[in-house]
Amino acid sequence: MTNAFPPNQQFRLAARPLGMPRNEDWLFHEEAVGEPIDGGIVVKVLYLSLDPAMRGWMNEGKSYIRPVAIGEVMRAGGLGIVIASKSPRFAMGDYVVGGTGVQRYWSGPADDKTAAFTKIDPRLAPLTAWLNTLGMPGMTAFFGLREVGQPKAGETVVVSGAAGAVGMTVGQVAKKMGCRVVGIAGGEDKCRYVVEQLGFDACIDYKAGPVHAGLKEHCPQGVDVYFDNVGGDILDAVLTRINMKARIVICGAISQYNATSQVKGPANYLSLLVNRARMEGMVVFDYAPRYAEGVATLAGWMQEGSVKSHEHVTEGFERFPEALLMLFEGKNLGKLVLKVADA
């Protein structure tokens, strides 16, 4: 029997990086893709989601999810098309999102728990939006802001990584909730984008001057909710400007993910005491039973044009190692996705 598929290509984890991942930390691997097993499917990956969290999965040690093992295909979310199916759950031509890993083809049981494929409706939104506003970043923003941040109309919401996938949606959802929204991002272009295109009230360019001064200027009523994607000095600056009973959502800390020395803890954390404020962590997976609600709401807002989904598409599967670094170099505007193939 001849094999109907071209060879699969994968990036496997070769070594645990110290600091920024290097090319030597990856193993480029080729292997054949077999026909699907009984109850199985083969998915051709079209887009891979590149996420800051991937850096954490490369480290050893307990976290909210087990680390990627040495020699294992790197974990990643992806969007693909079913090109072979021996499962009643999926038909050829179905578009799916799930944990494809960093490879061109995924093959296995249709109900694989790790991949956790779900079928998407490509008519509802552009394909790449399913890895962004209608995918994990969107769900993170939607549930993290609403359930943990709990902003009320009229309050001031600050979000860091404002021009990143999660931050963009946080700000737009907060505007829909009647809040004053101030972003923090690196560079004039990013700041201009979130204000002019996404309707943020203001955006502080942390590369242009002290964040503290920007907060003073743009948050004259103080900060009620801070949605933190970056950690480090920016978290510390916001802590000096929070209001009584403020809520800080700890969603990520991209500034610290490649730290080779100890993570910088928030030196101003005693502002929590003074202001009877709280800092709370969130992980999007906890809201999995409610993703349908998040997708429906955000898709509705996208269709009426009041929320935008912006993806930064970079091309070429073999460029994965350098594409991932774009996140940590702040090179992406919006959700960074790697285009792997045409449908």
Binding site for a copy of itself (CB under 8 A): 62-64, 231, 236, 250-253, 256, 262-283, 286
Alpha helices (H) along 185-288: 188-196, 211-218, 232-239, 271-274
Q: What's the rounded Cα separation, in Å, for the pair 325 and 23?
A: 11
Burial of 307 (0-12, 13-18, 19+ CB in 10 A): buried
DSSP three-state, residue 34: coil
DSSP three-state, residue 40: strand
DSSP three-state, residue 2: coil
Alpha-carbon distance values, 41 to 84, 120, 135, 242 (Å): 6, 16, 22, 50
Is the distance from CB of 104 to CB of 338 less than 8 angstroms?
A: no
Torsion of CA 78, 82, 87, 90, to 10 degrees: 80
Is the distance from CB of 343 to CB of 46 less than 8 angstroms?
A: yes
Q: What's the rounded Cα separation, in Å, for the pair 75 and 78?
A: 10
Tell me how far, at minimum, the Cβ of 133 lies from a copy of itself, in Å: 22
Locate tokens 């960074």: which residue?
Answer: 336
Six-digit token pair at 109? 């049981």
DSSP three-state, residue 91: coil
Tell me how far, at minimum, the Cβ of 248 lies from a copy of itself, in Å: 9
CB closer to a copy of itself out of 134 and 148:
148
**Ramachandran sector of residue 39 (left: φ over 0; alpha: ψ -120 to 50; beta: rest):** left
Q: What's the rounded Cα separation, in Å, for the pair 221 and 145?
A: 19
